Amino acid sequence: MNENKPGDSQNLACVFCRKNDDCPNKYGEKKTKEKWNLTVHYYCLLMSSGIWQRGKEEEGVYGFLIEDIRKEVNRASKLKCCVCKKNGASIGCVAPRCKRSYHFPCGLQRECIFQFTGNFASFCWNHRPVQIITSNNYRESLPCTICLEFIEPIPSYNILRSPCCKNAWFHRDCLQVQAINAGVFFFRCTICSNSDIFQKEMLRMGIHIPEKDASWELEENAYQELLQHHERCDVRRCRCKEGRDYNAPDSKWEIKRCQCCGSSGTHLACSSLRSWEQNWECLECRGIIYNSGEFQKAKKHVLPNSNNVGITDCLLEESSPKLPRQSPGSQSKDLLRQGSKFRRNVSTLLIELGFQIKKKTKRLYINKANIWTSALDAFRNRNFNPSYAIEVAYVIENDNFGSEHPGSKQEFLSLLMQHLENSSLFEGSLSKNLSLNSQALKENLYYEAGKMLAISLVHGGPSPGFFSKTLFNCLVYGPENTQPILDDVSDFDVAQIIIRINTATTVADLKSVINECYNYLELIGCLRLITTLSDKYMLVKDILVYHVIQRVQAPFESFKQGLKTLGVLEKIQAYPEAFCSILCHKPESLSAKILSDLFTVHTLPDVKALGFWNSYLQAVEDGKSTTTMEDILIFATGCSSIPPAGFKPTPSIECLHVDFPVGNKCNNCLAIPVTNTYKEFQENMDFTIRNTLKLEKEESSHYIGH
């Protein structure tokens, strides 16, 4: 094994599943590291429950360190596969209380689902997610839209339906092969070409979509013929003295191609075209359009200020349904592949940071009525380590019996972020900047706030979503490279001074304002000699920089140090575009579709109850219920929005023979009642959710806002 022997690797067995099969479509690429006498299937490695990618992509095997792989193999050697009954089962079902473990090939054999996204969850055959359809109107077989073989249109493990086109059905194997060939940038619905909704559903159902270019994109000069375009004037009488092949962009001698076929052209001047935006069709295409009857239909639309419009004029004036203008010679393979750049998703970045979290658990004792003080005490405890897994226990203040009950980590972090947003550490209405609070600075609370934000992001809590662009730019690019705006000023008096200076129309008016504000400008060091009216712009800039940046320099540096916890600040600075979406913007509003996709059905579904559940979500979205989408999510998980890193464990639905719904925030599980009528279902859901949340708010209302 000391020498490279390419032929031998095919006969080597994977250290996880003990199979020597080399089938990339089923098990992922087979990788052999002869130096360490190690062979693994990529999917066996990726889906193993006790390992994470701690190295860079080029280290170890796909970033999984050799020492970690050996530890995982050793851990798995003690676990028996519930399918083949042999040891080495490295993959476990993520469903709560499910103890099944299995090898990756054995899981495929028993139709388990492996999700190649998020936390790379695995579900056994009893707990796997399913596709639910309210009714089946298809009485006959339908073709798989990829291989065209006829299949029964009933969702199952091997048969999947498109989430965006209800008449599109696929074999699982067909979808998987297409996904591997197309990659994340070209894998889409074969009917409507939707990619976002389609990919999300396919990932949920266990289709692996590799983050790579499509196989046809990797071929040398694959699109060379598409880069060639027609550049010749083909009209009967060409007026250009330089000849039919002459093309001068941005002039009357620029060549315009036929908007229908693209294989004929004209100089703008040769067809009396006044601008590039006007449409032009060659004689052949014009004849087809006229004879097809489409043109006569178009004449029914009255054009403004035109009573007598001829055929030629109509064709020239009507707006083009084709692509916008592209200057000749500007097309290239890169333009044909717009959007194919690899972009880091913020959830992926946070999951990477989450790999630092150790298995060791630290229990935090939290009083929900005093979240801030409880969190400060817990995070300042000398035994607290941000890289330890967090476990929450709720306690009641002044409880002589010392009772405690399990709490939801995500609910705790959500309540903490709500308090932080409304605390005196920040100022502003919606987009907030740091305030200057001398007592908070003395108590080092700005550092603690940054630390809490970092912990929340990495440990699966919600994002703040209230940073101003100015605060964000200061963190990413530095205060010296950031220019504040008037909206960053929350002090009314200071804002009025800036407005008065900015709206001064004469030098005399400007000097008058400065004289009135002399003491303030002298105090902040912004007095300057005024000689021209344009000096007001530099003065306004100086005031903004002082008030928004220089005044809070000490709180900013302390807050910045806190954000360095678990390497969060460094990640923000490396990927500012990704983090701006969660730090400066609130999460998207929840919809019936989002919640329906979010909750996985873990138990054998009661079709009637699930139908009521989907109808209830739609009623809530349409405003026909007293609850909101956010209320439902809070009731089940403790969070009003989906955390950037996703929920762990995945939110699930259970159908129980109970009168009222039950929310288990520790497991993100919602038990919905089985009722005889939808009206009874909705009333029970509304009553329980509304009153539960009302009670929780009353318990903590005396503290919120303090």
pLDDT digits (tens, 9 = 90+) for 426-454: 998 889 999 999 999 999 999 999 999 99
What's 71's domain CATH number? 3.30.40.10
Residue 660 CB contacts under 8 Å (≥ 6 apart), including other chains = 673, 684, 687, 688
Co-location of 582 and 647 in the same domain: no
Catalytic residues: 666
| 594-619 average pLDDT score | 83
Co-location of 581 and 499 in the same domain: yes
Q: At CA 201, angle to CA 199 and CA 202, rounded to 5?
A: 65
User: Side chain identity at 49, as an amino acid letter?
Assistant: S
- Among 91-95, 377-381, 395-399, whose mean pLDDT is lowest? 395-399
Which of 217, 248, 280 is the last residue in one of the domains?
217
Q: Which long-range contacts (CB under 8 A, 24 or more apart) does 104-111 make?
A: 104/16, 104/17, 104/27, 104/41, 104/43, 104/44, 104/47, 105/17, 105/19, 105/21, 105/26, 105/27, 106/17, 106/81, 107/83, 108/26, 109/83, 110/83, 111/157, 111/158
Query: How many CB atoms are located within 10 Å of the residue 426 CB?
Result: 24
- Among 98-102, 128-132, 385-389, 553-557, whose mean pLDDT is lowest? 128-132
What's 365's domain CATH number? 3.90.1750.10
Co-location of 436 and 367 in the same domain: yes
Of residues 409, 416, 362, the one with CA closest to residue 703: 416
Q: Residue 449 has what pLDDT?
A: 95
Is residue 260, in this structure, part of any structural domain at all?
no
Q: Residue 196 has what pLDDT?
A: 86
Tokens linked to 502: 């900015």
- The label of the residue with tokens 């005889």 reads 676
Which of 586, 618, 635 is the last residue in one of the domains?
586
What's 625's domain CATH number? 3.30.2410.10
Co-location of 608 and 508 in the same domain: no
Which of 169, 186, 217 is the last residue in one of the domains?
217
Q: Are 156 and 206 in contact (CB under 8 A)?
A: no
CA–CA distances in Å: residue 75 to residues 83, 87, 91, 260, 261? 18, 10, 11, 64, 63
Co-location of 530 and 612 in the same domain: no
Count of the separate structural domains present in the chain: 4
Co-location of 543 and 410 in the same domain: yes
Q: Cα separation of 171 and 184, whole Å? A: 19
Asked if pLDDT for residue 90 goes beyond 50, the answer is: yes
Co-location of 523 and 435 in the same domain: yes
Greatest CA separation found in the chain?
101
pLDDT band for position 263 (cuts 50, 70, 90): confident
Q: Residue 559 has what pLDDT?
A: 95
**Average pLDDT, rounded, for the chain:** 83
| 264-285 average pLDDT score | 81
pLDDT in tens, 689-702: 999 988 877 766 54
Is residue 520, in this structure, part of any structural domain at all?
yes
Is residue 25, in this structure, part of any structural domain at all?
no
Q: Residue 2 has what pLDDT?
A: 37
Give the domain extent around 179.
Answer: 142-217
- Among 605-609, 642-646, 666-670, whose mean pLDDT is lowest? 605-609
Q: Residue 528 has what pLDDT?
A: 83
pLDDT in tens, 214-255: 777 666 655 555 556 788 999 888 989 889 999 988 788 888
Q: Residue 10 has what pLDDT?
A: 60
Co-location of 582 and 609 in the same domain: no
Q: Residue 412 has what pLDDT?
A: 92
- The label of the residue with tokens 């390497």 reads 567
Tokens linked to 419: 């308090």
pLDDT band for position 24 (cuts 50, 70, 90): confident
Q: How many CA atoms lie within 13 A of 390 on its CB side?
A: 30
Query: How many CB atoms are located within 10 Å of the residue 635 CB?
Result: 21
CA–CA distances in Å: residue 512 to residues 289, 307, 507? 70, 61, 9
Query: How many CB atoms are located within 10 Å of the residue 638 CB?
Result: 22
pLDDT band for position 400 (cuts 50, 70, 90): low
Co-location of 64 and 169 in the same domain: no
Is residue 232, in this structure, part of any structural domain at all?
no
Backbone CA torsion sign across 378, 379, 384, 389 = positive
Q: How, if at all, do strands 255-257 and 113-114 pair?
A: unpaired
Asked if pLDDT for residue 83 goes beyond 70, the answer is: yes
Residue 236 CB contacts under 8 Å (≥ 6 apart), including other chains = none
Is residue 491, in this structure, part of any structural domain at all?
yes
pLDDT in tens, 477-498: 999 999 999 999 999 999 999 9
Is residue 137, in this structure, part of any structural domain at all?
no
Is residue 248, in this structure, part of any structural domain at all?
no
pLDDT band for position 327 (cuts 50, 70, 90): very low
Q: Residue 380 has what pLDDT?
A: 92
Co-location of 352 and 455 in the same domain: yes
Q: Residue 646 has what pLDDT?
A: 87
Ramachandran class of 668: left when φ > 0, alpha when ψ lies in -120 to 50, beta otherwise: left
State what percent of residues in the chain have pLDDT above 90: 47
Tokens linked to 548: 């928004």
Is residue 226, in this structure, part of any structural domain at all?
no
Co-location of 94 and 187 in the same domain: no
pLDDT band for position 141 (cuts 50, 70, 90): confident
- Among 116-120, 274-278, 302-306, 389-393, whose mean pLDDT is lowest? 302-306
Co-location of 552 and 444 in the same domain: yes
Q: Residue 139 has what pLDDT?
A: 56
pTM of the predicted structure, to 2 decimals: 0.53
State what percent of residues in the chain have pLDDT above 70: 84
